[in-house]
Amino acid sequence: MATARGWVSPSVLPGFGLTLGFAGLFLTFIVLIPLAALIIRAGSLPLDEFWRIATEPRALASYRLTFGASFLAACVNAVFGFIIAWTLVRYDFPGRRLVDAIIDLPFALPTAVSGIALATVFAPNGWLGVQLERIGVQVAYTWVGVVVALTLIGLPFVVRSVQPALEEVDVSIEEAAESLGASRWTVFRRVILPTVMPALATGFTLALARAIGEYGSVIFIAGNLPMLTEITPLLIVIKLEQYDYLGAAALGLVMLLVSFVMLLSINAINGWRIRRVAGRR
Amino acid sequence: MAASDHLVRRQQNPVARVILIALSVLFLSAILIMPVVSVLAYAFSEGLPVYLEALRAPDTLAAIRLTLTTAAIVVPVNTIFGVAAAWAIAKFDFRGKQILITLIDLPFSVSPVIAGLVFVLLFGAQGWFGPWLRDEGIQVVYALPGIVLATMLVTFPYVARELIPVMQMQGREAEEAAVSLGAGGWMTFFRVTLPSIRWGLLYGIILCNARAMGEFGAVAVVSGHIRGLTTTMPLQAQVLYDEYDLVGAFAVASLLMLLALLTLVLKSVIEALSARRRRV
């Protein structure tokens, strides 16, 4: 049945038309048409009007917070995610299996739960908030709180990207370098880091991409003051609640374009990784 | 992205070892363990009877029902989609396959708020189909259909994403043999394909279910927060939290956390089972 079509290789297996047709139709109705609706809706605005909405001070302040906090959180995760992955791969200690298992918790935990939990723990009267208050640090209801929430969300991406790469590091090369007189730090910088770098870059970008779109875990701890602690996804929700569909669509399009850029970067980094691995073999 | 047991053994610097383990544990305690423990601490802060009472509140029961209903619709539909997409992608060669895979992954990189927004733009009062839906008396946004659609978009890739690599690794020979021996398409799928993909399938379904029940952002946009009617469990936790009903909010949150922990346990069990099968 499939032989009549030039774009599909012949196969004796049945069901190509049925499965591809169903999958394609479902994809079109649930994903493609709705996303196209957003693009068309925002695109129906005159360009100067779109530009005015997308660059009004409140929107600009929200981009600064969303992208700035996401970037900071991804950096924190790159450092601590690397340390945690290293600890899990190189050291045996009591509770190692448990630590390994809870790394995935942010993947499984509903964002609203991590949101209200973080807000409570870091609130001025919360378990950690009280301690931090003493040293003059306020986390809840400031941009720091946003970074904390985004760090929680992004952590597993870095650990789970770096962990397998660290397992691949050839210990005999490390030992060879050391026997030739290289210090631990030199070995880390010249042997381990270059091998793990592509995986770290992937983890960083995945964490960053996830953080930029995040809503649920942020809004409870952020305080949500316009111009100060208001993330872009929240600004979209506020515009929708005021029935400002066009304003929401314009900001939505900005977010969607950023998502596409992130998706392309992730694919590019993966391509770089595959080429490097292929080059080494 | 699976957890692994692999431990690289080599000579270690004891000082670095202690510092790095301590840093890891401290970081995870502050950012993960404390918040999780706090959910339970607040949920049970006034004792078990108050906790159970909070869960029996009519609005909370309605929220649990709505969440279960939504998952009961979304998960099977996305499972059928995932199996169909994986069959077409893994068992056939056609042009545009890579584009299809990228499009299936698309919802992973879209903000949940955008996933809700698009359906408001389509079906909301001022949406494209808004006036027509109002004339017909059909409510999509601020009702169950909107919640289901937004959840479906967000959880769309989960099953397909798990199945595609599993089915690609499995190859086509077994199915081709079955078909050339005269088995029909359905028989081939149920007797040859399904037994070898069942762990991957189960894994995808569990992840899809966890996300479907826990989704917040996308559902918050289309729900309208009508208490007892359109608040799912995560939204109910938010409503109660905003009303300073901490026991109520954390009681709902504790159920969602239980779901997350259960998901992680099932995930490790499945990983262990499929690893054992591979070794045999």
Interface of B with A in 89-108 (CB under 8 A): 91-96, 100, 102-107
Contacts of A41 in chain B (CB under 8 A): 121
* pLDDT score at A3: 47
* pLDDT score at A279: 65
* pLDDT score at A149: 97
**Domain extents in chain A:** 13-44, 47-280
> Rounded CA gap, B265 and B268, in Å?
5
Preferred mutation among B117, B233, B243 to probe A, highest tally of A CBs within 10 A = B117
Q: What is the pLDDT along chain A (281 residues), one digit of tens a residue?
A: 444 557 888 888 888 999 999 999 999 999 999 999 999 999 999 999 999 999 999 999 999 999 999 999 999 999 999 999 999 999 988 888 889 989 999 999 999 999 999 999 999 989 999 999 899 889 999 999 999 999 999 999 999 999 999 998 888 888 888 888 888 888 888 888 888 999 999 999 999 999 999 999 999 999 899 999 999 999 999 999 998 999 999 999 999 999 999 888 888 888 888 787 776 55
Across the interface, do B246 and A83 touch by the CB < 8 Å criterion?
no
Q: What pairs with residue B94 in β-bridges?
A: A8
For A16, which of B92, B152, B175 is closest by C-beta distance?
B92
> Rounded CA gap, A240 and A261, in Å?
25
Across the interface, do A23 and B85 touch by the CB < 8 Å criterion?
yes
Quick count: other Cβ atoms within 10 Å of Cβ B110? 26
Interface of B with A in 18-57 (CB under 8 A): 20-21, 23-25, 27-28, 30-36, 38-39, 42
> Is residue B241 less than 8 Å (CB to CB) from chain A?
yes
> Is residue B128 less than 8 Å (CB to CB) from chain A?
yes
Across the interface, do B110 and A93 touch by the CB < 8 Å criterion?
no
> Is residue B187 less than 8 Å (CB to CB) from chain A?
no
Residues of chain B with pLDDT under 70: 1-11, 277-280
Q: DSSP labels for chain A?
A: -GGG-TTB---S-S-HHHHHHHHHHHHIIIIIHHHHHHHHHHHTS-HHHHHHHHTSHHHHHHHHHHHHHHHHHHHHHHHHHHHHHHHHHH---TTHHHHHHHTTHHHHS-HHHHHHHHHHHHSTTSHHHHHHHHTT---TTSHHHHHHHHHHHHHHHHHHHHHHHHHHS-HHHHHHHHHTT--HHHHIIIIIHHHHHHHHHHHHHHHHHHHHH--HHHHHHH---TTTS--HHHHHHHHHHTT-HHHHHHHHHHHHHHHHHHHHHHHHHHHHHHHHHHHH-
* pLDDT score at B77: 97
Q: What is the CATH number of domain A47-280?
A: 1.10.3720.10
Across the interface, do A26 and B81 touch by the CB < 8 Å criterion?
yes
